[in-house]
Amino acid sequence: MLALVLAGCSEDHDRVAQPSQIAPEDIQSGYDFLQPETQSLQDDEFANPGYLWVDKGQALFNQAPENGGPTCSSCHSDDSRPVSKAAAHYPAIDELTGKLVNIEARINLCRERYQDLSPLEYESDELLGLTAYLSHLAQGEPVSVKIDGPAKKYYAAGEEYFFLRKGQFNLACSQCHNEHWGEKLRGDTISQGHGNAFPAYRMEWQTFGSLHRRLRDCDSGIRAEPLEFGSETYTAVELYLAKRAEGLAMESPGIRR
């Protein structure tokens, strides 16, 4: 799929001509488009259900694996390979493979390489918990990612997908989140589509979920075929969205409608 996106348009999927990007001074978190009651729920560490996953992730981060391998915390401390702000700077290129990875993929790479453990399944409570914990540690840190060098092709692919018309409704992400943000869609206000609050608790789901789950929902909503969790293309879109949101503070665990 990444190769198809890099190749540009196909017979069935036309690329939307890019309108001007959202001006840096107009960048707003999805938090700003929530009802005051929902904002209050996100702000309350006792009421925000996302903190159940943060707590689970913290326990897993400090828990010794059954195989006797090292804990995550034994490798990552404030003095050695700190991770307190890392989530704000992902996706990033994995130096060993040269491929783009998000936080979920980085967690699984660490499990396989250093703990001799199997990767965790996407959307499992364990992976969501660890991702939530690491993202929460970065809460308040401005989003900032690198898009040069090996990351350049992924950024281009993510941008291409964002402006690509797809599905039976023949819509692109940009048409909602660049051209019509702040307007009403039924009872909701359209946000700018940033990912700085994910993983997040979404009211529609009545549970916690990753940014890739949200991307799959968007594709399903326009009647396009959702891609696999952890797909190269969705990770490229995640990189594009992170660069687009540069400067916004990390909010996870966020609350979204």
Vertex 229: Cα angle to 228 and 231 (nearest 5): 65
* Catalytic residue (one of 72, 173, 176, 218): 218
DSSP line for the chain: -HHHHHH---SS-PBPPP-PPPPGGG---GGGGS-HHHHHHHH-TTT-THHHHHHHHHHHHHPPPTTS---HHHH--SSSS--TTGGGG-SEE-TTT--EE-HHHHHHHHHHHHS--PPPPTT-HHHHHHHHHHHHHTTTPBP----SGGGHHHHHHHHHHHTB-BTTTTB-HHHHHTTSTTSEETTEEP-----TT-SEEETTTTEEE-HHHHHHHHHHHTT-PPPPTT-HHHHHHHHHHHHHTTTPBP--SEEE-
> Active site includes 176?
no
CA distance 32 to 177: 14
Residues annotated as catalytic (active site), given as ranges: 218
